[in-house]
Every structure is written in structure tokens, then in C-alpha cells.
Amino acid sequence: MGMVFSHYQVYRFDTLCSETNLKIKQASVHTSSLTAPSLVNTLHGSLRSEQPNNSLYTYEGTLSLITDQGMPKQVPLGPDQMLLRGAQIRNTPWVYGLTVFTGHETKLMRNAT
């Protein structure tokens, strides 16, 4: 499971119950302007995330960023900023993101048990 930082997303689930309809995902307005590797590299902060769970359609997290002026900025993150394991990206040339859960901690793996 990963967080989308930049660029609008359209992706398709091919791994969950044969669901293949396109779903629109997009970056937070606070990070959508990060459109080059040099800009993404300027990010400083941390992610406070919910614990791994099997709920595929929910997510609660807060990206705590430090601005250029050294001030903290809280960016709420939800399911619209999430790409789940196995998602296939369509109709978009690139994505910058952050991996949140891996292996048996992913929502799809927890949902399978």
C-alpha cells in the first residue's frame, strides 16, 4: 500500500474480486505541486498512520511536513490518496509516493485471512 504524493491518478484494481472498474485517486492539494524528483527530495517530515488492518476502503493518516520556513504543517490523508497492493496505474504517466505497509501488513493480505 502506498501514499500518492504527486499527480492525479486513475488506477484499476485487478486483484480484488475481479473488480476492474477505474477509480480516481489523487494527491493531496498540499503535495500535488511536487512534480519533479528535485521537488520531492525537498520534503521533510513524518507520517503518522493507522495500524495495519483489513479494511480496504478506509485509511487515516497524517503527513507532518516541515515547511521551508521551518513551520510544521499537518496534511490529512485518506483512502483517496491510497494505492493498494496490486493496483495497476492507468491513464497517468508517473507517480511519486511513499510505501506505508509491505508484505503481510498490506490491507489486501490482511483481508485475505
Per-residue three-class SS string for 43-96:
CCEEEEECCCCCCCCCCCEEEEEECCCCCEEEEEECHHHEECCCCEEECCCCCE
Counting residues of the chain whose pLDDT is more than 70, the rounded percentage is 81
Range of the domain at 56: 2-112
Q: Are 12 and 21 in contact (CB under 8 A)?
A: yes
Is the pLDDT at 69 greater than 60? The verdict is yes
What pLDDT shows up at residue 59? 92
Q: For 31-44, what is the mean pLDDT?
A: 87
What pLDDT shows up at residue 13? 44
What pLDDT shows up at residue 12? 44
89 or 39, which is more confident?
39
Number of domains in the chain: 1
